[in-house]
Each structure stands twice: as C-alpha cells, then as structure tokens.
Structure 1
Amino acid sequence: MFAATPPGFKNAPISKLFITITVSASIISSIAGIKHYFFLQLVPHIWGWGQWWRLIVWEFVYLNESEVLFASLLVYNLRVIERMLGSRKYASMLILSYAFTFLLAPFILILLKIVPSYTANYLPPGPTPIIFAALALYHDMIPSVYKFRISSATPSTESAESQSSSTSEPSSSTSHTITLSDKIFVYILSVQVALAQMPGSLICAFTGWLVGVLWTREVLPGRNWRIPEWWWERTRTQGMASLAAFGTGQVTGMAGANTETAGAATGGDGGGGAEGGQTAPTNTAATQGRGFGSQILDTFRGNF
C-alpha cells in the first residue's frame, strides 16, 4: 500500500496531527522525565493507590522508541481511511474509539485475571487501541490494489525436462504457494505494534480491533456521533491560520519597519526617485527574509 496512494498528507490533516502528537508527546515525556505517570497497573495503581486518573492518560504516550516508529508508519499508511471518510468523520471515529477503549481494555484485563494461570497486571501506554480501531476500518473498507504469490519451490530447467520426458511418474517434490495482497505490508507493521509488549499490547490491539469492527457493523453505541460542525470549522480555520503564520515567519511589528526600509530604498531624494524609475520595481515579498518555521517546512516539504 506504500505506492498505492498519493504520498504526503494531502487531504489527511488528522493523520498528520495524530503522528505529530504521538512523536511530540513521547519526546516531551522523555525529556521531562514523566514517563512513569502514563503506564497502567491494576495493582497498585488502581486497587492500591486509587490513581483513577491513569485510566484517562494511559493512551496518550508511547514509552518505547520502536513503538513510536512503527505506530507512526502505521498511522501514515492508514491515512487513506481519512481520505475516504473525510477528516471530520475520521476524527470523530478516533475520539469515539478512545471513549470506549480507555475503559474497555482495563476491563478485559480484569476479566483475564480471573483465569488462575494468567498473572499479567500491566497495560503498556500508547494509542494502540485507537490505531487498531482504524485498522479494522482499513481491513473492511479498503480493497487491495494487487496480489502476488510466494512459492516455496521454483521448478528448474532440468526438473522441467525430466517431468516432460516421464509424465507417467509422479513428482516427488512438492511446492507450497501463498497468495498475498499489497495490504500485507500494513499488517506487518500492525503485528510489530501488537506484539511490542506482550501480553498487554495484544490486549490493547484486540480491544481497538473490536471497537473498530463494531463501528463498521454500525452496532457501536454513538456510532453516528460527529464533532459539532461549528466547532470543527472554527478549530480548523484557526489551526490553518496559525500554521500559515508559523510557516511564513511574519511578525506584525516588523511590517512598519519593512515598509520604511522599502521607502528609503526607492524614495530618498528626487535624484533617487528618478533613478528608481529607471529600474524594475522591487518585489517586497521576495526580499523579505524567511522565518525559522518556513525553513523547517521547506526542508521537509515534499518528503511527506
């Protein structure tokens, strides 16, 4: 699926925001030294110390760099769902998935503790359930683009000649062929995330997949809920304006200084004005210096 969709985050701002928050939250929590506030243990965090707030925050931050990498790659490849559903509907689905999974995964862990041989007490932090809810939509809604076969044996020239000369004798060599689709690459990434911290990560993946399947079958409570349109339009407009201001690096206080500088360069005295009339007009936008944010965006523009 890497080459089946247009590259980059065009028409997929929620996927871009998801990856940005996932990577930034992991880096900030590591620098600030607050990683220990995000993982969840039933004992002693819930039953012993009563830290119920951990049920709300445990899906926010990955603590492992490899999980951040594979989860970001997985979200990037799942952006095709956002392009199909629309950003508002996709964002609503992610929020609804969080509303169910942040309690459902600990509940499943409690049910498994009834099994005598099961001693797991830990849920690894990170938005794995939310990602696997989107993966369930990807499995049901996105068709495969192409298929390919992997065979365990390739017939050689000698074997082909021998088989053609003695067709009556049965062939002793057997070959096994597996037919796969281009979606297998996305599933490989999902397996890496699901098995990152067994068995807790597998519980998180199963919980998210279950919520996603219920959403696609239209039996999930609140499935038709959407982010209010007025709030969505207002937030999107303000977010795009802030991103544009950050990218251009324009400062309101510098506008007057730029105008005075341009006037001094073109006006001056009467002689300077005559000379300026003989030269081509200066493009003010082209002569303004690029801000730091613009330099960063120009560096990565086209790569994502």
Structure 2
Amino acid sequence: MSMETPIGLREYPVTKICMVATVMVPLIAAVTNVKYLFLAQFNPFIYEYHQYYRYILFQLGCLNESDVILLVLIWYNFRHLERLFGSYKYLNVISLIWLYTSFIIVLCNIAINSFIPAFKPGVIWNRLPSGPLPLVLALFHFYKQFTPKIYQFQILLFAPPKFWGKGNNNSLEDEGVSNRKRIMLTLTDQFLVDALIVLLVLNQGLVGIFCGFISWVIGIFIEKGLFLGMDHWELPFVDWLLTGKKHRIIRPNLPVTDETALLQEDESVDGGRSSNSIEGSSTGNNTIPARNNERSIRPETLNFTNTNTISTGSSDHIGGTDDQIDDEPVRPLRQQFLDVFRR
C-alpha cells in the first residue's frame, strides 16, 4: 500500500459520513432546541425519570463546540483506517465498537451507582461523556496499531539559565548554555493525532479520562480477538448502499466487422468444444483448446507456440520448433474461404 493518501474525501465515504454527522447532529439539535437529549446524567434523568434512551444517544451528539472541532480533525486523520480496512469493513468495526463501548460504559455506570452509595452516601458517577469520545478512543488503538510511522524528529530543549535577568555577560552566557540541562523530546508524524486525543480527553474532565481508558482497553480486546465480532460482524445492506451497485465485468464493444464476427463465432464453437473435451477427458483425450484471450484479430497473426495440444505421434514433437509441430487449429470452411482472398 502506498504511503501517500488520496487528496480529499472522495475515496473515504465512511469518514465523510462521520465528519458530516459530527457537525450536523449538534447543529440541528441546537437549532431545534433538543440538545438536552444528548445529556446523560444518572440523577435525575436515569434514576428519577427513567429516561434510559439517553444511554443510547449520549455518543451521537456533542454538547461542546470545541469537542466538535476536535472530533472532526480526529476523524479526518483516521481515514488511514478506512483505506486499510475498506469502507464496508471500517463501518462494521465502528458499529461493533459503538455497541461494546455503549454497553460496557452503561453497565459500569449502573454497577458503580448501585454499590458506591451503600458505602458512601451521596457519591455517584453522575455524568457520562458527551459525543463519540469512547468510540474515538477505541479506534485510537487501531490507529496506533495499523498506521505506520513515516518519520520522527527530535526537539532539543534547555533548562532556563541560572543568570536569567542578571545582565548580558558573554562569558557567563556561554558557561550557562554549556551547563544547562538538556531535554530531548522525540516525536513522530502521529504527534498531531496524539495531541488531539489528549485535548479531547482533558476537555471532558475526569469522566473523559475514565471512559477513555475503558474504551481504549475495549479497542485492544476487540483487536486481539478477546471480544467476538471483529471478523464476523456485518451490517446488512450497507455494502450495496456504499457501492451503489454490484461489481460486474464489462467487455469492450468491438466494432462489428467480418473478422470480429468470425471471432465471436469461433468463441461459441470453442465453448461447445471445451465442454465436450471436459466430458470426454476420461477417455484419454488430452487436447486442451486455446484460450480466447490469446487470439489476435487477424487469423494469420495467430501465435500458437507452446500450446497444450499433444498429438498422438512421437514424443520428439514436444518442445520442438514451429516447423516441426503442426499446431494450426481447425478453421471453419467460411474462414478458410475468406483467408484465400486475404492472402
């Protein structure tokens, strides 16, 4: 696979859908004043009002505009995964990760809020992260696992000098630079994605750190096969929606001439002969017809060297020259008649 990715999002339909949905869902929710539906709080929405649908919707929309910008940039950098898996497989992996992260985070939220208040009254895990932070953190493991590092660079940092602000003495300055502590920071071409992930996690606070760690572990378990579904989970009808139509082989339309008409007739005749040769192979017939794609348009330019046709004569014919082997195929009478006038 080439290291250079195609420009734009034309070859990445799933990435385009994720980026557009990340922007449009919060925008529509803000315009229609239903943004509160994506707020998943245990008290009062779950515990008192029993609005369990919030456990399903909390990953679909963001409540913070800065999260929207960070997620759009992260989805764009994750396009390498779609190029690696393919659009259909990539969408299946995203749906599988969404199911696992939603189920496990919700299960942990219910379990913790059921046991912790028994020991410490009033202490609960009240809020879940908004937006697809768990989904992105699980995909972050796939990104680090399957995206190669193209280059790396080092940044040399120095500790502040001891004479800071004491004048401009050149001797002291040279001595201070040589005695300062050096810090070598090594970064790769993936440092931008790492920085975006860190900002996204910290933007959610302690909830983002805790849920991000759980989602990252879920991504590891899915990739290692500890959680089932990586190789067998498929969404129905998605392949047809992404491609638009099934793949089919389209043969070029050659101009209809006497020669192409003869070749089409020969193909139909050879097709019948090939079926007869397969049925009669048990009788010891080793004659294999020539393939149609090895023929040229002009019959006199046919090249049948190294054919698989074995005659009943002596074995000296095998591997001999073209003059020793009579390998000209049987031609129809009409083709022989036309070849007389051509030559």
Greater gyration radius: 2
1:95 equivalent in structure 2: 95
CA distance in 2, matches of 1:136, 1:33: 35
1:146 equivalent in structure 2: 151
CA distance in 1, matches of 2:244, 2:146: 32
1:189 matches 2:219: no
1:216 to 210, 223, 234: 223
The offset of 1:4, in angstroms, is: 6.2
Distance of aligned partners of 1:118 and 1:80 in 2 relative to their CA distance in 1, 3 Å threshold: farther
- For the 8 Å contact 2:100–2:218, the answer to whether it is kept is yes
1:128 matches 2:137: no
Tell me the TM-score normalised to structure 2 length.
Answer: 0.60
Distance of aligned partners of 1:120 and 1:232 in 2 relative to their CA distance in 1, 3 Å threshold: closer
CA distance in 2, matches of 1:27, 1:148: 39
The within-5 A match list for 1:216-295 is 216-228=223-235, 231-238=237-244
1:61 matches 2:61: yes
- For the 8 Å contact 1:19–1:72, the answer to whether it is kept is yes
1:255 equivalent in structure 2: none
The offset of 1:103, in angstroms, is: 2.1
Larger displacement relative to structure 2 (13-22 or 173-182): 173-182
CA distance in 1, matches of 2:208, 2:16: 24
Ranked by relative contact order (alpha carbons within 8 Å, sequence separation 6 or more), the top structure is 1
- Structure 2 counterpart of 1:146, which letter? Y
* Count of matched residue positions in the alignment of Structure 1 and Structure 2: 228
The offset of 1:67, in angstroms, is: 0.4
The offset of 1:91, in angstroms, is: 0.4
The offset of 1:56, in angstroms, is: 1.1
Provide the secondary structure at the position in 1 that maps to 2:185. strand
Once the two structures are superposed, residues 73-102 of structure 1 have per-residue CA deviations (whole angstroms, 9 ceiling, x without a partner) of 001001101101111111001000111111
Name the Cα RMSD after superposition: 3.0
The offset of 1:71, in angstroms, is: 0.5
- For the 8 Å contact 1:4–1:145, the answer to whether it is kept is no
The offset of 1:219, in angstroms, is: 1.4
CA distance in 1, matches of 2:45, 2:21: 26
- For the 8 Å contact 1:38–1:125, the answer to whether it is kept is yes
Provide the secondary structure at the position in 2 that maps to 1:211. helix
- For the 8 Å contact 1:92–1:225, the answer to whether it is kept is no
2:36 equivalent in structure 1: 36
- Structure 1 counterpart of 2:241, which letter? T
The offset of 1:9, in angstroms, is: 1.5
Distance of aligned partners of 1:141 and 1:118 in 2 relative to their CA distance in 1, 3 Å threshold: farther
- Structure 2 counterpart of 1:20, which letter? V
- Structure 2 counterpart of 1:234, which letter? W
CA distance in 2, matches of 1:236, 1:66: 30
CA distance in 2, matches of 1:110, 1:228: 29
Once the two structures are superposed, residues 239-260 of structure 1 have per-residue CA deviations (whole angstroms, 9 ceiling, x without a partner) of 9xxxxxxxxxxxxxxxxxxxxx
Once the two structures are superposed, residues 100-140 of structure 1 have per-residue CA deviations (whole angstroms, 9 ceiling, x without a partner) of 11121233334555385965410132111111111110011
The offset of 1:237, in angstroms, is: 4.2
Gaps of 5+ in 1: 164-170, 240-304
- Structure 1 counterpart of 2:126, which letter? N
CA distance in 2, matches of 1:108, 1:132: 17
- Structure 2 counterpart of 1:122, which letter? R
- Structure 1 counterpart of 2:185, which letter? I
Provide the secondary structure at the position in 1 that maps to 2:29. helix
Gaps of 5+ in 2: 160-169, 246-343
CA distance in 2, matches of 1:76, 1:180: 20
The offset of 1:70, in angstroms, is: 0.4
Distance of aligned partners of 1:223 and 1:129 in 2 relative to their CA distance in 1, 3 Å threshold: same
Tell me the TM-score normalised to structure 1 length.
Answer: 0.67
